[in-house]
Amino acid sequence: MEIDVWSDIACPWCYVGKRRFEAALEAYDGADDVTVTWRSFELDPGAPAEREGDNAILLAEKYGMSREDALASMESLTQTATLEGLDFQLNDSRGGNTFDAHRLTHLAAAHGLQDEMKERLMRAHQCERELLSDHATLARLAAEVGLPATEVTEVLASDRFAEEVRDDEALAAQLGIRAVPCFVFDRRLGVSGAQSPDVLVEMMERAAAEQAD
């Protein structure tokens, strides 16, 4: 079974969804026959290198709510993340453009380290207040997961894998994906949102049954 997962590194719900998806794979009997590909998706393609301002105010402005409601929403999400073993730092996270970080996940895929790179980038952004548009930061994180330093430097200094990122986003648009995370099973079944492991296992079982027909 092929499972494509569209997500943005800067999306906290995508990280929660990743944890729940991992739990679903552990519970699914056919996990050994599953191939997972992490697909690129930018929630804000036009984001600056670093977004300035109070995170709660930025969230409030985006969704038309008060700062107090934004803070409550962030706290609720932080508590949800805690249940998944994640220590979110949403108040102090450094938002910015994620395009180069997505390019690194494609480099990592070429080295069989895509999941490791995706995980490290998400943790760095959501839990460690790292700025993922900064090339020195990206190079350090890539080194931690074992990517060749010379190749990482070459990728960041060029537009290599830019087309692959855009292709992922174009395919998402073609499939009608507008919200992430989005899990697509064998390009036939899909579900958006940080779904529970039970829902994701059910989707995998449905996809496997359709494949067998």
Contact 133, 44 (CB under 8 A): no
* CATH number 3.40.30.10 is the correct assignment for the domain at 2-51+94-212: yes
Question: Regarding beta strands 189-192 and 2-7, do their DSSP bridges make them parallel or antiparallel, or are they unpaired?
Answer: unpaired
What was the pLDDT predicted at 212? Answer: 77
**Looking at residue 35, what DSSP letter applies?**
E
Number of Cβ within 10 Å of residue 9's Cβ equals: 26
Place of tokens 């087309």: 163
Residues of the chain with CATH 3.40.30.10: 2-51+94-212
**pLDDT value, residue 67:** 95
Cβ proximity of 89 and 40 under 8 Å: no
For the chain, which residues score pLDDT lower than 50? none
| Beta-strand pair 2-7/35-40 | parallel
List b or e across 93-118, with b for residues whose CB sees 16 or more CB atoms inside 10 angstroms.
bbbbbbbbbbbbbbbbbeeebbbbbb
- Token pair 């690194």 is found at 104
List CB contacts of 171: < 8 A, sequence separation 6 or more. 39
Residue 211, pLDDT score: 83
- pLDDT tens digits for range 173-183: 999 999 999 99
Q: Quick one: pLDDT at residue 183? A: 98
Rg (alpha carbons) of the chain, rounded to whole number: 17
Q: Report the side by side order of strands in the sheet with 189-192.
A: 35-40, 2-7, 182-185, 189-192
Which pLDDT value is given to residue 178?
Answer: 94
DSSP states along 162-202 = HHHHHHHHHHHHHTT--SSSEEEETTTEEEESS--HHHHHH
Q: Are 126 and 93 in contact (CB under 8 A)?
A: yes
